[in-house]
Amino acid sequence: MIRSQVLICGGTGCTSSGSAALTPAFEEELQKNGLTEEVKLVKTGCFGLCALGPVVIIYPDGTFYSHVQKEDVAEIVSEHLLKGRVVERLVYNDVGADVQEEAAKAVALSDTVFYKSQKRVALRNCGVINPESIDEYIAMDGYAALGKVLTEMTPEEVIQVMKDSGLRGRGGGGFPTGLKWSFTAANKADQKYVVCNADEGDPGAFMDRSVLEGDPHCIIEAMAICGYATGATEGYIYVRAEYPIAVKRLEIAIAQAKEYGLLGKNIFESGFDFDLHIRLGAGAFVCGEETALMTSIEGNRGEPRPRPPYPAVKGLFQKPTTENNVETFANVPQIILKGAEWFASMGTERSKGTKVFALGGNINNTGLVEIPMGTTLRHIIEDIGGGIPGGKKFKAAQTGGPSGGCIPASLIDTEIDYDNLTAIGCMMGSGGLIVMDESKCMVDIAKFFLDFTVDESCGKCTPCRIGTVRMKELLEKITSGNGTLEDIDKLEELAYYIKANSLCGLGQTAPNPVLATLKFFRDEYVAHVVDKKCPAGVCKDLLQYKIIADKCKGCTACSRVCPVNAISGTVKQPHSIDPAKCIKCGSCMAKCKFGAIIKE
């Protein structure tokens, strides 16, 4: 009889930290201690607290162990599983908790500050079930929603439920899901398609990957429901090849669903047929745009098409097509089972439900969070995220990646939903949320995202192909200390032109990081061109390293690490830096123990 379960995170984050070695180590130790019949090992998807991996959770008590290594397994088995003693040194320390737990007390995942404010819908099974077991998914009401729509509901009723729920596309555009489905359903054709956009390309975003790795069957079920509602009999999941774990688990899940008769012909003996295929993307950011994605599935170079006609009329293979991203589909089965009113009860008036964010950057608790729409940025950063490390101040949060904007510290109490972000010149995007502290230069941040966009432009339209390069050149001129006030005006004018004239969403949103930083941090741009200073001390061409004579002890540590011999001075006497030789690598500042070296 099973008395304990050991859940081992098998998501990409923990796998990269060595969690793959934990399962055989646990199997060996359980065998040694005669516990193989009493303890069950479960390899799950992502728990969310990615920076703490490898993560292991032991039930029924829910003890949460972090940074578990292969060498720790024997102690966990002998102490916790055999003797009932918690291994205190591995217990998670709840950063951000108002009252720190006693060292001897285990912290359950559900009791952490990181999790208390979360409402899991799209991520409900991630970190809970074995994603490679269809039986575990079915035990969590899996495929019950598909059975319900095929045996109890008409396609029109399914679409109405989706409309009433208020679910909007989680890929960034925020278009009403039920309305999109109705457009495809209204078009008659001999063949229709459902496409899942799993081409997650935003820097720092990994929401869709984690859903595919932790709960692949929910996407299969949702796509089949969409197919029934819109009249489609075939679907494609477009996932980037850089997600090997997600691809493997999708392949396993599709094979299992076919074996159980949940994909293929006459599903639930309803007369409905639906089949599913996987297509691998090569990592082109532009293929996140729905028409470019479909062009890629067709075997062509991933370039966007002019719209109209929209995919609901002419999409994949010129047939009516419904496209949604992973997170959008992940909500569908729960909406069908629990009802539109249940989903619509969460969130704000025009942004219903929850949203998954990949929380990263200068924050204590990095990882995946799923929160009701309308949660304030302050609550996400200070409570769920555990605040800014090192006692530094919050400066801005970047939302939407290369397509988004930034929320400054003055707007930290903004309620996060589609309309509020649009109102301040930002956008939700797919869900990347990069937190930045006072050490970040916002001009440099804008340049970073624009550099990414320039590399990822497909080149089909001139405003994006040429315009983004010109914007990048202006930013490089400004950050190198050669910019003028006129260059700032040119940058802004060009940004608006590209936004208005580009062919697809990539080009239309490429200027957003520039426009947002100009709106909220224009003083930093001015400082770069007027004062020839980078206020954050990031842009190398505008930096100068200096040694404060009163603090320098003459220990020579700085001069010994300088790669270009730019530091001179004798032992026990103040040193100096030759700015003509200095390459601004920062090695001297990092080596100095007395805080005698500053950059300005």
Q: What is the CATH number of the domain that holds 75?
A: 3.40.30.10
- The helix (run of H) or strand (run of E) holding residue 4 is strand 4-9
- Give me the pLDDT at residue 427, please: 84
Query: Using CA of residue 70, residue 71, residue 73, residue 76, what is the dihedral sign?
Result: negative
User: Does pLDDT of 167 surpass 80?
Assistant: yes
Please compute the mean of the pLDDT values over residues 527-535 and round it to a whole number: 94
What CA–CA distance (Å, rounded) separates 118 from 121?
Answer: 10
CATH of the domain at 460: 1.20.1440.230
Which residue from 255, 232, 239 is spatially nearest to 316, judged by alpha carbons?
Answer: 232
Maximum separation of any 2 CA atoms in the chain, in Å? 88
Q: Rounded to whole angstroms, how far apart are CA atoms 311 and 32?
A: 58
Asked whether residue 122 is assigned to any structural domain, the reply reads no
Report angle CA 584, 587, 591 to the nearest 5 degrees.
140
Task: Kindly state the average pLDDT of the residues 113-133.
Answer: 93
Above 80 in pLDDT, residue 461?
A: yes
Residue 568 is part of a domain; what is its CATH number? 3.30.70.20
Q: Residue 389's pLDDT band (boundaries 50, 70, 90)? A: very high
Residue positions counted in the chain: 600
Using the predicted structure, report yes or no on whether residue 525 has a pLDDT greater than 50.
yes
Confidence band, pLDDT 50/70/90 cuts, at residue 221: very high
Q: Average pLDDT over the chain, rounded to whole?
A: 92
pLDDT of the residue at 102: 43
* Domain boundary, last residue among 289, 322, 344: 344
- The whole-number pLDDT of residue 53 equals 86
C-alpha dist (Å) from residue 188 to 7, 192, 234, 321: 47, 9, 15, 11
Domain assignment present for residue 539? The answer is no
Q: Are residues 525 and 429 both part of a single domain?
A: no
- Looking at residues 141-165, what average pLDDT do you find? 98
What's the pLDDT at 95?
A: 54
CA nearest to 589, candidates 581, 600, 580: 600
- Indicate if 177 and 291 belong to the same structural domain: yes
Tell whether 80 and 35 lie within a shared domain.
yes
Tell me, yes or no, whether 124 lies in a domain. Answer: no
How many domains in the chain? 5
For residue 517, being part of any structural domain is answered with yes
Report d(CA 220, CA 222) in Å as an integer. Answer: 6
> Residue 151: what pLDDT?
96
Asked whether the predicted pLDDT for residue 383 surpasses 50, the reply is: yes
Residue 515 lies in a domain: yes
Please give the DSSP secondary-structure letter assigned to residue 537.
S
CB 239 within 8 A of CB 247: yes
Please tell me the distance from the alpha carbon of residue 566 to that of residue 11, in angstroms, as a whole number. 46
Same domain? 233 vs 275: yes
Domain boundary among 437, 471, 503: 437
Of 437, 457, 484, the position where a domain reaches its end is 437
- Note the pLDDT of residue 428: 84
Is residue 420's pLDDT more than 50? Answer: yes
Contact yes or no for 295/303 (Cβ under 8 A): yes
Question: Span 177-193, mean pLDDT?
Answer: 97
Q: Do 223 and 316 reside in the same domain of the chain?
A: yes
296-332: pLDDT as tens digits: 999 999 999 998 999 999 999 999 999 999 999 999 9
Q: What is the mean pLDDT of residues 509-534?
A: 94
Note the pLDDT tens digit of each residue in 91-109: 887 655 444 444 434 577 7
d(CA 18, CA 391): 30
CATH number of the domain residue 212 falls in: 3.40.50.11540
Q: Is residue 485 helix, strand or coil?
A: helix
What span, in angstroms and rounded, lies between the C-alpha atoms of 61 and 30?
19
What mean pLDDT is predicted for residues 34-50?
A: 92
Domain CATH code at residue 389: 3.10.20.600
The C-alpha R_g of the chain, in whole angstroms, comes to: 27
Give me the mean pLDDT over the 549-561 stretch.
93
411 and 448, same domain (yes or no): no
Selection from 135, 129, 134 nearest residue 57 by Cα: 129
My answer on whether 208 and 170 are in the same domain is yes
Question: Are both 149 and 262 inside the same structural domain?
Answer: yes
In a domain, 117, yes or no: no
Q: Is residue 318 part of a domain?
A: yes
In the block, tokens 């691998």 appear at 280
Same domain for 314 and 227: yes
Of 178, 420, 432, the closest CA to residue 288 belongs to 432
> Is the domain of 465 the same as that of 386?
no
The percent of residues above 70 in pLDDT, for the chain, comes to 98
Give the domain extent around 77: 4-111
As a whole number of angstroms, the distance between CA 482 and CA 569 comes to 33
For the stretch 248-294, pLDDT in tens is: 999 999 999 999 999 999 999 999 999 999 999 988 888 888 999 99
Give the C-alpha separation, 208 to 219, whole Å: 10
Asked whether residue 93 falls in the same domain as residue 240, the answer is no
Q: Are residues 224 and 254 in the same domain?
A: yes
Average pLDDT over residues 203-217: 92
